[in-house]
Structure 1
Amino acid sequence: MRGLLQPPEVAGVGYDVHALGHEAQPLVVVDNVIDDPETLIALAEADPPFVAQPTDYYPGIRKPVSNRYPDQLLQKIEPILREVFGLPDQLEPQVRLSAFSLTTTPSQQLRPIQCVPHIDNHVAHQFAVVHYLCHEKFGGTSFYRHRSTGYETVTSDRLEHYFKVLKQEVMADDTVGRDYINGNTRLFERIARIQVRFNRALIYRSCSLHSGDISAAAGLSPNPRQGRLTLNSFIESQSSV
């Protein structure tokens, strides 16, 4: 991580901007992102329950947020998307998904794809927001460079090549075990790490290689007040003309 950049002025929102790795993609850190985070924790505790999604690679359980949070989040971060990430005026950001997430999968039950960094989307002008609603003991989020390709982002033009190379490497590397990635490996180099802070949000391009810093020793509780609770949102952009 190249360190802090001078953030542009956005009225009413205080944040820091980091440049990730060689590609210098922006990573925005917003502390105290909402005024009353306790309301969100109470909402996470209420029905309906969290469930595992068979088609989702997330190592745990989720449930959609059911209040005005997506609209409030978008209102707050849209100026950041335009000023920091250069989202063009003719593209309108929309929240595609906003869900509570609890990491609950034991290491030995992880699938191989859950043991390496991932991207959320390879399409341009798609963004991810991770909002921490948990204790600092749960680590944070790290960003990575794939050593052999040098990729820190996996865009549409890189997608086929990257996954072809990664599959070959994972099959050939006997050091890849069933565990959460949490730092440098033979295949990946960590280029940035942002620590959990309660009511902190991270904003980054969905094509950035990243992974949660998951520690089984910190606990993998399904209880929203005791586990690694986050609110994950995915922002897509569509033409307004």
Structure 2
Amino acid sequence: MLPSLLIIDDFLSDPLAARKAALALDYDPSRKNGNYPGHISTMPLDIQGLDDRVSAMINAPVEQAPGTSHGHCRITLKGDKGRSGVHIDPAFYSGILYLSLPEHCKGGTEFFRHKRTGLERVPSDPLAITKAGYADINALIEDVVNRDTLHKAKWKRTMLVPMRFNRLILFSPWLFHNSGAAFGTSPEAGRLVHLMFFAKSQRSVTRP
């Protein structure tokens, strides 16, 4: 069974170099395409051996999920707003690598319970979906996630994974989650993260 959540500190051997490379990427606001707050890099930041390392950690082979912003970085500054709140990810597994410096880190990644249904994630078991009162998974996602994404009163925060420089969190994309508060007035002092969206791979797990 896949772990619901993993926290790996000191993930990169040279996080300052990765941060410098992330800040050097282009964050053209005219290229924004999504409901997220802030701005995403137009090109990905490659981390050598990432797929193999994550595959070994979760004991399941993974690769880049097509059609996602896997590998791209995102900068979110104080006051930035998105068009969605609590959400799920279109992937087999998700990851966030924090690249904000220690003196700037605030918030983190938040996880939630939906008050009306009591769910903390989209169930993978059809019986659990039926028990929750829905005919299929799409009906559940539409009624719970899409309907209530921006209604804070509909959700109860169950956990905050604090932001820490060079901390990687890996988690099930079906968990109801959202980014923590944005901060900073410049890219150098703002919320800087490297995004990961994995698909399941057919290759075998390679131990790095």
TM-score band (shorter)?
A: 0.7 to 0.9
- For residues 45-94 of structure 1, give each alpha carbon's deviation from its aligned partner in whole angstroms, at most 9, with x where no partner exists: 32x41134443122111113344x0x422222211221xxxx3xxxx410
Look up the match of 1:158.
137
Look up the match of 1:149.
117
TM-score, reference length from structure 2: 0.76
- In 2: Cα distance, 1:59 partner to 1:119 partner: 15
Indicate how the Cα distance of structure 1 residues 79 and 190 shifts in structure 2: closer, same or farther if over 3 A, else same.
same
Look up the match of 1:212.
179
- For residues 126-162 of structure 1, give each alpha carbon's deviation from its aligned partner in whole angstroms, at most 9, with x where no partner exists: 1111000114532111111111112211257433224
**Conserved? CA contact 2:115–2:155, under 8 Å:** yes
Matched AA of 1:193: L
Indicate how the Cα distance of structure 1 residues 146 and 74 shifts in structure 2: closer, same or farther if over 3 A, else same.
same
Q: CA RMSD in A?
A: 2.7
**Conserved? CA contact 2:112–2:156, under 8 Å:** yes
Match of 2:26 among 49, 57, 76: 49
- In 2: Cα distance, 1:49 partner to 1:101 partner: 10
Indicate how the Cα distance of structure 1 residues 95 and 106 shifts in structure 2: closer, same or farther if over 3 A, else same.
same
Look up the match of 1:65.
44
For 1:35-114, list aligned pairs within 5 A.
35-46=13-24, 48-52=25-29, 53-63=31-41, 64-67=43-46, 69=47, 71-82=48-59, 87=60, 92-96=61-65, 97-104=70-77, 106=79, 109-111=81-83, 114=84
Secondary structure, counterpart of 2:4 in structure 1: strand
Indicate how the Cα distance of structure 1 residues 66 and 203 shifts in structure 2: closer, same or farther if over 3 A, else same.
closer
Shift of 1:232: 0.7
- For residues 1-49 of structure 1, give each alpha carbon's deviation from its aligned partner in whole angstroms, at most 9, with x where no partner exists: xxxxxxxxxxxxxxxxxxxxxxx96210000001001111121232x41
- In 1: Cα distance, 2:148 partner to 2:54 partner: 38
Residues 1:236 and 2:161 aligned together: no
Matched AA of 1:50: Y
For 1:18-37, list aligned pairs within 5 A.
26-37=4-15
- In 2: Cα distance, 1:203 partner to 1:197 partner: 14
**Conserved? CA contact 1:220–1:228, under 8 Å:** no
Secondary structure, counterpart of 1:76 in structure 2: helix
TM-score, reference length from structure 1: 0.66
Higher relative contact order (CA 8 A, sep 6+): 2
**Conserved? CA contact 2:75–2:193, under 8 Å:** yes
Task: Count the aligned residue pairs.
Answer: 184
For 1:215-226, list aligned pairs within 5 A.
215=182, 218-221=183-186, 223=187, 225-226=188-189
**Conserved? CA contact 1:101–1:231, under 8 Å:** yes
**Conserved? CA contact 1:130–1:231, under 8 Å:** yes
Identify unmatched segments of 5+ residues in structure 1: 1-23, 177-184
- In 2: Cα distance, 1:120 partner to 1:170 partner: 13
